Amino acid sequence: MKTQLTSLFAALLLAGCASVGSVDPSQLPQAPTAYKAASANDATALTAAWWQPFADSVLDDLVARAMTTNTTVQSAANRLAQARAALGSAQSSRLPQLGASAGASRGALPGASATTQYSAGLNLAYELDLGGRLLHERNAAALDVQAREQLLADARLLVQANVARGYLALRALDTERDIVRDTVAAYGETLSLTEKRARAGDVADLDLARVRAELAANEAEALALDRRRVELETALAVLLGEPASSFSLKPSPWTTALPAVPAGLPSELLQRRPDLAAARSQLEAAQARVGVARAAWWPSLSLTAQGGGISSEVSDLLKSGASTWGIGLLGALPIFDGGRREAGVNAAKAQLDGSAIAFREQFLLALKDVEDQLGAITLLQAQEQASARAVSAAGQALKLSDSRYRNGFVSQLELLDARRSELANKRAALQVRSAQYQATVGLIRALGGGWAPAPVKLAGA
């Protein structure tokens, strides 16, 4: 029987001794050599205050306020605090545990009078981490903290990007409102001229009705833009963690600078995204928890010690004659558990596989985001040039049509068509400009932060 138990004990130890290993970097997706829309060289580096190159003091203020009061950032910070507390608990499990105890009891044996016993002492316990379970738990908790730190950084970046996008969309909308209002004013002048000519009998009632319809349509469009502005303003208030009823952002000229995307944007920037770093830490934490599950095959072994005193009088507890002490070694070895430990290992392995899949998916989505925004920025630059030519041509056509209409050389329909064309082209050009800002912010978000020129290396350095 003794030999059988020894063999069983050895088998359990061998099962628990299986190495946990570590995450193999070669099995994880790697950053591309270069992006499709940028050459690969180390010409740039990340910068934390990525919004400052936009050179907009209002944007600076909004981002600063959001970092203080945004609820998404506060929630991420709270989860980080919870993870740090869990790490503290895991670290304490690896240290000796010391406690004090005191008590009083009263009782009597048959034929004897009742007596009272007082006791007081210190108890010391320390678990020997034979299978590395406590170490793996501590490592997993530390990796959880790293992941939460990165998720907090990602939450901040997300809120910063959303604030910038909302603010830039608001400024673009204000500019578009000005364009539509200018068009409304122009239609008003055309209506006055048409009414004057109608009274003189130079134009038909149909021409007058057409101008009134165009004016009313553009007035309705201006009101729709006003409604959209209210929605953007209240969305910004939520991002700032402020009541929408007390938040307002007055219209002002759109003077925000548009940072240029460097041609040599390095692909390594992608790997610095905080959400990817968090996914990597979560993957390694799942690996550590496989070690926790495998350590369940090891026996548990604890050292205990206690010392104190027992006496029928409280005043005698500290006397040498009342002192007691003891040391012990407590071990436990599970023999049959119905497959619980094996199931625990399988569950930890499945969680590890799931974390690896999640990391790969996150990486591919991040790469897609970068490529999408880089491609958008490249195409929008060409589209901006085409839109500028269209606006210039439409403006020239409108001037000619207006002059010819006032002199009676063209019909009113030609003038209205020219004005519609100019308005459409101006708004289209504005939308292209707004899309350039949105794509730039999107690229910054996709890369995990902004960029700054790398230090210039001096000759001979």
For helices 133-199 and 274-294, what crossing angle results, to 10°? Answer: 150
Phi, psi of 165 (to 5 degrees): -65, -45
d(CA 412, CA 401): 9
In single-letter form, the type of residue at position 188 comes to G
d(CA 50, CA 441): 9
pLDDT at residue 198, as a whole number: 83
- For residues 298 and 133, the answer to whether their CB atoms sit within 8 Å is yes
d(CA 17, CA 350): 20
pLDDT at residue 257, as a whole number: 92
In sequence order, which residues have a C-beta less than 8 Å from that of residue 304 and are 6 or more positions away?
A: 123, 124, 125, 126, 327, 328, 329, 330
In Å, what is the CA distance from 248 to each residue of 54, 70, 224, 229? 21, 17, 18, 11
Q: What is the pLDDT of residues 164-191, one digit of tens each?
A: 999 999 999 999 999 999 889 988 888 8
- For residues 165 and 438, the answer to whether their CB atoms sit within 8 Å is yes
d(CA 76, CA 157): 12
As given in the structure block, the two tokens for residue 107 are 């009782």
Phi, psi of 110 (to 5 degrees): -55, 130
In single-letter form, the type of residue at position 169 comes to A
Q: Give the three-class secondary structure for 33.
A: coil
- For residues 365 and 292, the answer to whether their CB atoms sit within 8 Å is no
- For residues 300 and 332, the answer to whether their CB atoms sit within 8 Å is yes
Q: Say what the pTM is.
A: 0.81
- Identify the H or E element spanning 98: strand 97-107
Q: Which CATH class is domain 25-96+119-332+362-453?
A: mainly alpha
In single-letter form, the type of residue at position 364 comes to L
Q: Give the three-class secondary structure for 32.
A: coil
d(CA 381, CA 156): 29
CA dihedral for 312, 317, 322, 323, sign (positive or negative) = positive
pLDDT at residue 18, as a whole number: 42
- For residues 127 and 302, the answer to whether their CB atoms sit within 8 Å is yes
Q: How do the pLDDT tens digits run along the chain, 461 residues long? A: 444 434 433 443 444 444 455 566 666 666 665 666 554 444 445 467 899 999 999 999 999 999 999 999 999 999 999 999 999 999 998 888 888 888 888 877 676 777 888 888 888 888 888 888 889 999 999 999 999 999 999 999 999 999 999 999 999 999 999 999 988 998 888 888 888 888 888 778 888 888 899 899 999 999 999 999 999 999 999 999 999 999 999 998 899 999 887 766 666 677 778 999 999 999 999 999 999 999 888 888 888 888 877 777 766 666 666 677 888 888 888 888 888 889 999 999 999 999 999 999 998 998 899 889 999 999 999 999 999 999 999 999 999 998 887 887 877 778 888 888 998 999 999 999 999 999 999 999 988 887 655 444 443 33
Phi, psi of 329 (to 5 degrees): -130, 120
Strand partners, 309: 120, 323
- Roughly how many angstroms between the first and final C-alpha of the chain, as a whole number? 75
